[in-house]
Structure 1
């Protein structure tokens, strides 16, 4: 095969694998959107559609846990995203940013309780993508990024009464994530991407998802009450900033607890460098050595049969012990007079 054709075929295979892994990461969101779409065509529902979607979301969450498609820790993060989303919705609906025009028994201050599942779906995507791609982050400023993400969340709630600082905070987010790289595995190949670019791309797809959700009547912007129209493109920037909140949560509660993948750099702390071979000169963990003693890696380990080199070389077979010479049996005493 021609070298160009071979490299193109490898690229297309990796691209297809990357796309399939993304589909798997979006499984919760896809199932949620399918439920929304189906609820618009079901005739004669016995309960309000928003109430039905709340029950569907709860069953979906339980199914993912029972099937072990999500861990308990991931489910806890998703629940936090749900609560943060509900708080966000309560403020936004009150000030008229968007609305839920349909009736429901499970509405609080105009917000149906199922509304938090949209944010839970974002949390599920980040958790599953982190696990399925084996995500690792280098150069990540934990506290600075978390503080800016929290400030962004607060600003989106308070800018209706206080000055809107989203662009200032957006520049701060670019500053604290400068030099931060996301490493992810596609098959056996490690790839990397700047964290700021990852936020931008995720924000775009969340904007696309928001268009789908509003089309199926999950909620409506004021301009969509008469007839559906695309969500303003400015929401792309809003989602690109807000995704930092979910990312910081997942990193703090899930990613830092995850086991390190094989091939990670043991000297990189909590953020290993993917693809690096283990250092053959790295000292073993004393806790993993019986007795808690680590032999000197630069010397030799005594052995009954000689010495065993610490690294490299061959290990000689132990020399069997030589038995002591057997003394000659004394001649029987000559009988007297013999």
Structure 2
């Protein structure tokens, strides 16, 4: 029963990512009249986002976090496509600098999952590092995605820093009436692994293509796990810091 309850809330937390994959699949195999594929995906995801807020599946505060992730992800997409890391080969009216606007929703879907699972499993953290350390590390990880094209790639140094900074941090989550705990770094690894699986599905559905996937689809290399591990850290840092700020504001008003 515990496992079923846990699985249900994980599945509900993945609703937005699942809709993204379904839209990618449908638009790949079914021709959409009057709309370019990327434009169709953008329209569907905008409507879904509105529906989730209107239905109460997502709160206004969660929508703000998702929009933040959308902008952060879109900035990275514009840079990475410009540098030739990957491409979006299909035509669309909603493309800027070779990047379709729907691409930001793929980053936003990670934020949607984080916010949903945090609320549904009543998650909490202990041993959270000083905000200066957490925010500085998160910023360094994010900017390393940009700077490694010109200078040394610091990802392995940053990964080591993650294990040091979050050594004492644990995440608590509640399934029915039982509370469980795990080291936060394990949670980072799990999220990174599942995002890597999602990336393989997305590239198979031509959401985007890496240079070695232009002619035929190939599995995304395991080396990408480190990138998604670091992306998961950025996601958790942003969500956790916003939760801490929100909790302090609520406590102040009460």
Q: TM-score, normalising length from structure 2?
A: 0.95
Match of 1:191 among 155, 163, 180: 180
Match of 1:133 among 121, 126, 133: 121
Match of 1:20 among 8, 12, 17: 8
2:166 alignment partner in structure 1: 177
1:267 alignment partner in structure 2: none
Whether the aligned pair in 2 keeps the contact of 1:170 and 1:241 (CA below 8 Å) is yes
Whether the aligned pair in 2 keeps the contact of 1:77 and 1:123 (CA below 8 Å) is yes
**Within 1, Cα distance between the matches of 2:244 and 2:201?**
30
Q: Cα distance, 1:43 vs. partner?
A: 2.5
Runs of 4 or more consecutive aligned structure 1 residues displaced over 3 Å after TM superposition: none
Match of 1:236 among 212, 222, 225: 225
Q: Report the CA distance shift for 1:44/1:138 in structure 2 as closer, same or farther (over 3 A).
A: closer
Q: How many pairs were matched up?
A: 250
Aligned residue for 2:180, secondary structure, equals strand
Match of 2:110 among 119, 122, 128: 122
Q: Cα distance, 1:45 vs. partner?
A: 2.6
Deviations 1:289-318 (A, max 9, x none): xxxxxxxxxxxxxxxxxxxxxxxxxxxxxx
**Within 2, Cα distance between the matches of 1:254 and 1:219?**
32
Whether the aligned pair in 2 keeps the contact of 1:127 and 1:254 (CA below 8 Å) is no
Q: Cα distance, 1:254 vs. partner?
A: 3.5
**Within 1, Cα distance between the matches of 2:140 and 2:70?**
19
**Within 2, Cα distance between the matches of 1:240 and 1:55?**
30
Considering Cα pairs closer than 8 Å and 6+ residues apart, tell me whether 1 or 2 has the greater RCO. 2
Match of 1:219 among 208, 215, 222: 208
Aligned residue for 1:134, secondary structure, equals coil
**Within 1, Cα distance between the matches of 2:235 and 2:61?**
14
Whether the aligned pair in 1 keeps the contact of 2:203 and 2:209 (CA below 8 Å) is yes
Bigger-Rg structure (1/2): 1
- Cα root mean square deviation, aligned: 1.6
**Within 1, Cα distance between the matches of 2:32 and 2:142?**
39
1:99 alignment partner in structure 2: 87
Pairing 1:315-326 to 2, within 5 Å after superposition: none
Q: Report the CA distance shift for 1:52/1:44 in structure 2 as closer, same or farther (over 3 A).
A: closer
Whether the aligned pair in 1 keeps the contact of 2:32 and 2:40 (CA below 8 Å) is no
Q: Cα distance, 1:253 vs. partner?
A: 2.1
Whether the aligned pair in 1 keeps the contact of 2:87 and 2:98 (CA below 8 Å) is yes
**Within 2, Cα distance between the matches of 1:207 and 1:201?**
10
Q: Cα distance, 1:143 vs. partner?
A: 2.6
**Within 1, Cα distance between the matches of 2:68 and 2:101?**
14
Aligned residue for 1:40, secondary structure, equals helix
Structure 2 runs not aligned, ≥5 long: none
